[in-house]
Structure 1
Amino acid sequence: MVENIVIIGAGHAGGAAAISLRELGFSGSIRVIGDEAEPPYERPTLSKEFLSGADASPVYLANEDRWSELKVTLTLGVSAQAIDRDARRVTLSDGSQVSYDRLVLATGGRARRLDAPDYPRIHHLRTIEDARTLAAAARPGARAVIVGGGVIGLETASTLVGLGLSATVLEAGERLLGRNTPADAAAWIAEAHARIGVEIHLGRSLKTVTERPGGLTVGLDDGTTLDADLMVVGIGIIPCVELAEAAGLPTAAGVLVDADYRSLGDPDVFAIGDLALRVFGDAPAPRRMETWAHAQTSARAAALAILGQPGELEPTPWFWTAQCGHMLQIAGDPSVADSVVARGDGVRLYLRAGTLVGAACLDQPRDFGTARRLIGKALTPETAADPRADLRKAAA
């Protein structure tokens, strides 16, 4: 009998898991433990609307009254220090202990940092407090250097330019968005940044950062130096696996879980969101997914498994990013495609053996919605390539 569920991590995934458990009919005790003082919130606006000041607060998953109505206990401003799996007990940083029948790990990751002094003018963007600190430093006319040409770095560059700063992006790879975005879509974003004046250095890595009166001096591997008033580091996250490792759970670049997000080392422990590294069936090499959609879907899948209810058909993976006044949306896995269909200027369809496996759309929400539904179906390339034709008609 499952009567007591503890969720470690009060971010998006952890909060979504608590809500899903109630929506699915669980009536026992739910406690969500988080080291931030804030209740569960979504992270996407931190680099956009919240950073810019357009939104006065981040997007909270629920307000105080709603958490009370759901009878979810939020234990905030404390962290989990140890898990005793034999006793099914978690020790917290304030010295208290909480017991569980099922444990959900949703600790996500922490911002990866440079191998450099942690000067006050160097910023990261992972939490509400990070965003508030950066917003306070983002004065119009200031020069910002952004390290990392991924989603966070580029969204931040776009927002800072909108606030009246200049922005220079340093990317060690040969193109932007190299980890999770196909080349055509990355080129669209590069062009959008060029139009708003963002300076981009590809194939360049950071060698030195030194503090000077009023700013920073940034040295690149080719000998170039840049002056900056502030720096933002967006080079990914490090999964917070230490708690799981200390408890003897199997980990790699995340906590190893099965298709239902159950730990491979303990059937009473689950891991979700950015922390989960799924290993199951004939799936390709396991990898983590750091998206808003995965926080939602992994939370619900784990809740279903905890309650012994049948799993649901897993939705096609997808994510979006808003930059420079444009919306880029990616669905499926374009990396496994063997051919690409260009559908006008802002849509690319990725096929493998004639079957749609991925899509990238720039400011084309209708085609994106259709493409998401067609993932896994064979397409007629000639029909799919005609932007005047209904994309649904391309499905064989």
Structure 2
Amino acid sequence: MSAPAPSTSISAAPRILIAGAGPAAQALVSQLERARFSGTITLLSNRDDAPEELLELAALPKVSVRFGQPASFIDPDNRRVTTADGMEFSYDQLVIATGSAPVASPVEGANRCLSYSTIDDASRIGEAVKEITRELGRRPLGILVGTGAAAGQAEAVLRARGVRPIRTTVRPASVVASISGLAASGIVFEDGSSMNGDLVVLAEERVPRDGLAASAGLRTAPNGGIVISQDFRTSVPGVWAIGDAAVFDGVRLGLLVAAASAAGACATQLMTAASAGQQVQEAA
């Protein structure tokens, strides 16, 4: 009798699916690539356009970016996600990175001022302050608009960079353009009164986009956000959350840790989970 032929079965490469394509998702893909993740990574973006940063990721081996294909439904039992156009994607590990949204509509002229919504905004504000300080030749006077944790962090950032912040909790009707063109210099309220300075920072309230997660039965926080543990796991096996969509200990993740740091830690956990899942497949 001839000896049986050796088995040639090969276990499928692990699949990571990311719902969202913002800064947190991009940082996660970069970290997984740096760690030489051996499986495939698919990003589902709600953007129809193709910004340069996403095109760079799409050019990476084993990375696929689906533009204009936001996730609309999660089937955690079968580990499958359906997009708004009806496309279906299976996954071994799913990461929700849908971000957050402002509570109120934008203030008129808001594009002319600085904004603070996550820790990652601190470095951008710091660079702007350097430029304004250099232009003025003195310590700048800053107008800070907002309440809550984001505004508190923004105030600390401004003080640490030499800005004299004047904080208001009253929402302005519009932002006044700066003569130098470097940044907005003041705000105008509904009653016609105004506040003037050298720069304006908006640190208004935001809410995590957690509708996708809630519809799939994931645990969400009373004030919004996908509840995660320290290792970024949600309440449903195989589903993780990162970025401003996630909440840890009642606080938006973006206010607790920088996107790159969170992505690095999450990537490590995903690699471990993917490896464990592949070992189970090989043993089956």
For 1:245, the equivalent position in structure 2 comes to 214
Q: Equivalent residue of 2:101, what SS?
A: strand
For 2:230, the equivalent position in structure 1 comes to 259
From the superposition, tell whether residues 99 and 217 of structure 1 become closer, same or farther in structure 2 (CA, over 3 Å). same
For 1:273, the equivalent position in structure 2 comes to 243
From the superposition, tell whether residues 79 and 35 of structure 1 become closer, same or farther in structure 2 (CA, over 3 Å). same
Q: Is the 8 A contact 2:145 2:204 kept in 1?
A: no
C-alpha RMSD of matched pairs (Å): 4.4
For 2:267, the equivalent position in structure 1 comes to 300
Report the Cα distance in structure 1 between the residues aligned to 2:36 and 2:118, rounded to whole angstroms: 39
For 2:280, the equivalent position in structure 1 comes to none
Structure with the higher fraction of residues in strand conformation: 1
**Counterpart AA for 1:99:** S
In the superposition, the TM-score normalised over structure 1's length comes to 0.49
Deviations along 1:160-179, whole A, 9 cap, x unmatched? Answer: 84797998513456999624
For 2:109, the equivalent position in structure 1 comes to 122
From the superposition, tell whether residues 210 and 104 of structure 1 become closer, same or farther in structure 2 (CA, over 3 Å). closer
Q: Is the 8 A contact 1:13 1:299 kept in 2?
A: no
Are 2:81 and 1:90 equivalent residues in the alignment? yes
From the superposition, tell whether residues 84 and 181 of structure 1 become closer, same or farther in structure 2 (CA, over 3 Å). same
Report the Cα distance in structure 1 between the residues aligned to 2:232 and 2:118, rounded to whole angstroms: 27
Report the Cα distance in structure 1 between the residues aligned to 2:259 and 2:43, rounded to whole angstroms: 19
From the superposition, tell whether residues 175 and 17 of structure 1 become closer, same or farther in structure 2 (CA, over 3 Å). closer
Q: 1:81-160 to 2 correspondence within 5 Å?
A: 81-113=72-104, 118=106, 121-123=108-110, 134=111, 138=112, 152=121, 155=125, 158=129
Are 2:171 and 1:169 equivalent residues in the alignment? no
Q: Is the 8 A contact 2:141 2:166 kept in 1?
A: no
For 2:253, the equivalent position in structure 1 comes to 289
Q: Equivalent residue of 1:298, what SS?
A: helix
Give the aligned length.
244
Q: Equivalent residue of 1:270, what SS?
A: strand
Q: CA deviation at 1:5?
A: 2.2
Task: Structure 1: give runs of 5+ residues left out of the alignment.
Answer: 40-56, 124-133, 139-143, 195-199, 279-284, 310-396
Task: Structure 2: give runs of 5+ residues left out of the alignment.
Answer: 1-11, 177-185, 277-284
